[in-house]
Structure 1
Amino acid sequence: MNLLDALPDSWIKASVSKYCDVRLGKMLQNDPSSDRDELKPYLRAINIAKTGLDLAHDFSMWITPAEKDRFRLAKGDILVSEGGDAGRTAVFDSEREYYFQNAINRVWPAATELIVPEFIYYWFTFLKVAGYVEMVCNVATIPHFTAEKVKAAPLALPPLETQRRIAQFLDEKTAQIDGLIDKKRALLERLAEKRQALITRTVTNGLNPSAPMKPTGIDWLGDIPAHWEVLPVKRVAKLESGHAPDKKIDAYWDDCEIPWVSLNDTAILRAADYISDTTYKINELGLANSSARLLPARAVVFTRDATIGESAITTRPMAVSQHIIAWLCDDSRVIPEYLLFAIYGMRGELLRLTNGSTIGTIGMGDVKSIRMALPPIAEQNQIVAAIVKAKDSLDNIVGLANRSIERLIEYRAALVSSAVTGQIEGLR
């Protein structure tokens, strides 16, 4: 991939190392090596967000006196992530004292009379969106945009005044685009809140605003229609958990065809009401030699570890891992779709039950104690139909907003690429 061929002939074309200094950050130091070391704030890859520098994440490590000048950031430094989302770039624009860890490369012009730092920021943004970073990184495992790869990256430098025009133009245009993206994302947050409130209200209050109500004494349920029941979910659905076949035994993982719901399917469970396929599968031998069992279709599954309460209904027989709860509904008491929406509605209660300082989990005792408001079957069907209709309407708006965000991101990338490669006539 030669990115420099189509650029104006008058521009300087070289590698980054010829005109910029590149330094990888300091190895994380958790403990002082002497009484002269100081605990200082530092940046890591997560601080380089898609929208620029993000100082909301606070990290500290020990810095020796000899390292203070070497690893202290200065305003205007270009930060390029070495790992994480490799090649993501931000400008350090803070007056505060910060250092940088070895998940970040710092790039700064060695010849300030030839380079505008902001232009370098947009140039590295271009290398990322043009696919150069992905090409030179080992994406088979975890990509790393090492200091050596950063130094070897191509660099094109127009005249200084042209760099300033390009940087100013992109500052203005990308700020406008980012503002539009922020508004779209704020809309998505409001829609998600509206969706959650709609479901919670409907599975606790029903569809008839004039129905007589009764108190439940349960905070998240509040008052419910007087003719509804409040029952533990285990009274109307059979609780099932799962297991993982021994991963050290290859025979349990060969020629696998049985869908196996695990935490690897969290994104699927979050995105849809039904799950038809799984990331991993197991075979009959693995199933027979584990505590997992094949569950019938239309089981309501939800995550009990890590991200709590992501749920869906299975569309065919599946097994589940030990991190997943499955409820098999008694069709005479509760339909799977109503139980699914009830689980959506109790999201706040599930989070309250979560324990664990790092990876949250809901204990089986708490799972067995979960209660729900239960209307008659006919009313459950009416509620499900009403929620589906309302959700479909909201989901259509969400889809439009997401597609708009995607187009804006694509336009932003194209604009940066066109500007830094001299394709916009008025900026040359």
Structure 2
Amino acid sequence: MSREMKDSGVEWIGEIPEEWKIRRLKALLIERNQKNDDLKTKFILSLGVNYGVVPYSEKEGGGNKAKENLQDYKVAYPGDIVMNSMNIISGSVGISHYMGCVSPVYYMFYPRNNDVNVNYYHFLFQTKAFQRSLVGLGNGILIKENEKGNFNTVRMRIPVNRLNALFLPVPNLEEQNRISTFLTDKCLKIENIIKDTEKSIEKYKKLKLALITKSVTKGIRKNRKFKDSGYDFIGLIPEEWEICKVRHIGRLQNGISKGAEYFGKGYPFVSYGDVYRNYSLPRQVEGLIDSTEKEQEIYSVKKGDVFFTRTSETIEEVGFSSVCEKDILNATFAGFLIRLRPFEQEKIDTEFLKYYFRSEHQRFYLVKEMNLVTRASLGQPLLKGMPVLIPPKVEQEEIAKYLNKKCNIIDKVIQKKEEMIQEISEYKKSLIYEYVTGKREVPKS
């Protein structure tokens, strides 16, 4: 039997069951704004879009370093809803299962009374509809919605007073409990499928990396003689290959550095992300910078250039490379990058370098040699000393052609799995929305 519905009066919520109510967030949840000034806890917690609230030591994907002065942190308790005020719109929300200290940019909320199931509202805050409702509430950052309906944003802080004023649906406690129990079970099954798929993707990425590393250090020809490279992490190399250092093959140049007011308008700008995410630079980069003709000459982006990520909060993100396969007119590149421009491009195949500088032995060299102080940084002296294997030009082209074919197959498999994860994630959000707004009812046991 279908239930009677009514208009909630809130656009993103839509219709709700007749017996449900609408209340402001502050009537349901209280912000826990407790400072850690007496060092109540030294157990640091972290929050991410993909992994919820976890001990800082277990966080994924790097990120900002923890502050040394823990008195600047806030305290979170088990059962608190934790939100990142800068990334709520991207889904950075989770429930803490620990007592610990968290970044000052986090908000913690706990139930105002016994009629509130905190897990129900945790699910509500994960819906895309709720996240969309936050657009316009942040302070001064442009939000772009991509073709899949997700938000690409830099950092956008949502003030807590604006969160407190938001209207939320309020089922009775019994129904909150039923919805929470049902969604916990359903979402656990979905998340296990996603985790298994992610593990499969990682295996394919490792296979691709191993294939690249073997090809650019041993070649792809059979029945050949080898010689000692002189480097333990490289080992034997084909006898006719040369070995030199980066300083011998090209000139290095750090990127442009300008104030924030110069960005978002003007001419093409190659960003840190353009290099970190791609083996080859996009033909059309999204970044813009107000640059002069002189700057465009000094920091130009030409075919054959190789760019390296120069600095980051974590060592895992430094030293990634991307090649330029076609001139980008009037472009400049970021100060967080280093450009390698080969002296004699006719002796080096750009496609070969695309793979060579992404190989596992290069990562090993950089991680081993790099010093991590407050930020990981790749300086020109270190990069100049990095060994480079140079096969004959014709063999470089052979290797590049071989890897293009093999890596394309692997990349297509990875892409399909990533699309599956995206579809499952969208289904999860849609499922949550249908139940937390009462459009679908959890049967009473």
TM-score range, shorter chain: 0.7 to 0.9
What are the superposed Cα offsets for residues 243-263 of structure 1, whole Å, 9 maximum, x if unpaired?
Answer: 53765997xx89844x454xx
Conserved 8 A contact 1:126-1:420: no
What are the superposed Cα offsets for residues 265-286 of structure 1, whole Å, 9 maximum, x if unpaired?
Answer: 4334532424424423464544
Conserved 8 A contact 1:41-1:61: no
| Alignment-derived partner of residue 179 in structure 1 | 192
Conserved 8 A contact 2:370-2:378: yes
Conserved 8 A contact 2:124-2:130: no
Letter in 2 for 1:15: R
| Alignment-derived partner of residue 316 in structure 1 | 327
| Alignment-derived partner of residue 191 in structure 1 | 204
| Alignment-derived partner of residue 33 in structure 1 | none
Helix, strand or coil at the partner of 2:157: coil
CA 1:149/1:194 → structure 2, altered by over 3 Å: closer, same or farther? Answer: same
CA 1:268/1:374 → structure 2, altered by over 3 Å: closer, same or farther? Answer: closer
Q: Distance in 2 between matches of 1:79 and 1:332?
A: 55
Conserved 8 A contact 2:12-2:130: no
| Alignment-derived partner of residue 108 in structure 1 | 110
CA 1:248/1:420 → structure 2, altered by over 3 Å: closer, same or farther? Answer: closer
Q: Distance in 1 between matches of 2:41 and 2:284?
A: 47
Letter in 2 for 1:215: D
CA 1:172/1:211 → structure 2, altered by over 3 Å: closer, same or farther? Answer: same
Conserved 8 A contact 1:128-1:134: no
Helix, strand or coil at the partner of 1:137: coil
Residue from 278, 288, 292 that aligns with 1:280: 288
In terms of mean alpha carbon deviation, does 211-220 or 49-58 score higher? 49-58
The reply to whether residue 91 of structure 1 matches residue 95 of structure 2 is yes
Conserved 8 A contact 2:44-2:56: no
Conserved 8 A contact 1:13-1:157: yes
The reply to whether residue 415 of structure 1 matches residue 444 of structure 2 is no
Letter in 2 for 1:230: I
TM-score, normalised with respect to structure 1: 0.82
Q: Distance in 2 between matches of 1:50 and 1:99?
A: 20
Q: CA deviation at 1:119?
A: 1.4
The reply to whether residue 266 of structure 1 matches residue 266 of structure 2 is no
The reply to whether residue 241 of structure 1 matches residue 269 of structure 2 is no
Q: Distance in 2 between matches of 1:150 and 1:5?
A: 19
Helix, strand or coil at the partner of 2:22: strand
| Alignment-derived partner of residue 354 in structure 1 | 370
| Alignment-derived partner of residue 124 in structure 2 | 123
The reply to whether residue 298 of structure 1 matches residue 334 of structure 2 is no
Listed as ranges, the gaps of 5+ residues in structure 1 are: 30-36
Q: Distance in 1 between matches of 2:341 and 2:242?
A: 19
Q: CA deviation at 1:368?
A: 2.4
| Alignment-derived partner of residue 3 in structure 2 | none
| Alignment-derived partner of residue 78 in structure 2 | 75
Q: Distance in 2 between matches of 1:198 and 1:116?
A: 50
Letter in 1 for 2:341: W
Conserved 8 A contact 1:11-1:159: yes
Q: Distance in 1 between matches of 2:53 and 2:195?
A: 15
| Alignment-derived partner of residue 341 in structure 2 | 327
Q: Distance in 1 between matches of 2:351 and 2:424?
A: 36
Q: Distance in 2 between matches of 1:391 and 1:370?
A: 25
Letter in 2 for 1:241: Q
Helix, strand or coil at the partner of 1:326: strand
CA RMSD of aligned residues (A): 3.2
Q: Distance in 2 between matches of 1:376 and 1:341?
A: 16
Helix, strand or coil at the partner of 2:375: coil
Residue from 395, 399, 422 that aligns with 1:383: 399
CA 1:52/1:284 → structure 2, altered by over 3 Å: closer, same or farther? Answer: closer
Helix, strand or coil at the partner of 2:183: helix
Helix, strand or coil at the partner of 2:237: strand
Q: Distance in 2 between matches of 1:48 and 1:410?
A: 18
Q: CA deviation at 1:316?
A: 0.7
Q: CA deviation at 1:51?
A: 3.4
What are the superposed Cα offsets for residues 18-46 of structure 1, whole Å, 9 maximum, x if unpaired?
Answer: 233233343x75xxxxxxx44623666x4
Letter in 2 for 1:18: A
CA 1:424/1:302 → structure 2, altered by over 3 Å: closer, same or farther? Answer: same
Letter in 1 for 2:348: V
| Alignment-derived partner of residue 393 in structure 1 | 409
What are the superposed Cα offsets for residues 109-139 of structure 1, whole Å, 9 maximum, x if unpaired?
Answer: 2221x22222122222237645123343335
Letter in 2 for 1:273: S
Which of these two proteins has the greater Rg computed from alpha carbons?
Answer: 1
Conserved 8 A contact 2:76-2:102: yes
| Alignment-derived partner of residue 34 in structure 1 | none
Letter in 2 for 1:287: E
Conserved 8 A contact 2:81-2:96: yes
Helix, strand or coil at the partner of 1:41: coil
Residue from 13, 22, 25 that aligns with 2:31: 22
Helix, strand or coil at the partner of 1:231: strand
CA 1:110/1:266 → structure 2, altered by over 3 Å: closer, same or farther? Answer: closer
Q: Distance in 2 between matches of 1:232 and 1:144?
A: 45
Q: Distance in 2 between matches of 1:304 and 1:91?
A: 35
Q: Identity, % of aligned pairs?
A: 19
CA 1:209/1:397 → structure 2, altered by over 3 Å: closer, same or farther? Answer: same
Conserved 8 A contact 2:75-2:101: yes
In terms of mean alpha carbon deviation, does 126-135 or 187-196 score higher? 126-135
Q: CA deviation at 1:103?
A: 2.3
Within-5 A mapping of 1:213-232: 213-232=226-245
Aligned residues: 403
| Alignment-derived partner of residue 145 in structure 2 | none
| Alignment-derived partner of residue 4 in structure 2 | none
Q: Distance in 2 between matches of 1:128 and 1:416?
A: 10
CA 1:272/1:415 → structure 2, altered by over 3 Å: closer, same or farther? Answer: same
Q: CA deviation at 1:329?
A: 5.2
Q: Distance in 2 between matches of 1:137 and 1:80?
A: 14
Conserved 8 A contact 1:81-1:89: yes
Q: CA deviation at 1:195?
A: 1.4
Listed as ranges, the gaps of 5+ residues in structure 2 are: 1-9, 58-65, 143-154, 313-317
Helix, strand or coil at the partner of 1:204: helix
What are the superposed Cα offsets for residues 174-194 of structure 1, whole Å, 9 maximum, x if unpaired?
Answer: 111111111122122222211
Q: Distance in 2 between matches of 1:160 and 1:11?
A: 11
CA 1:43/1:416 → structure 2, altered by over 3 Å: closer, same or farther? Answer: farther
CA 1:405/1:255 → structure 2, altered by over 3 Å: closer, same or farther? Answer: closer
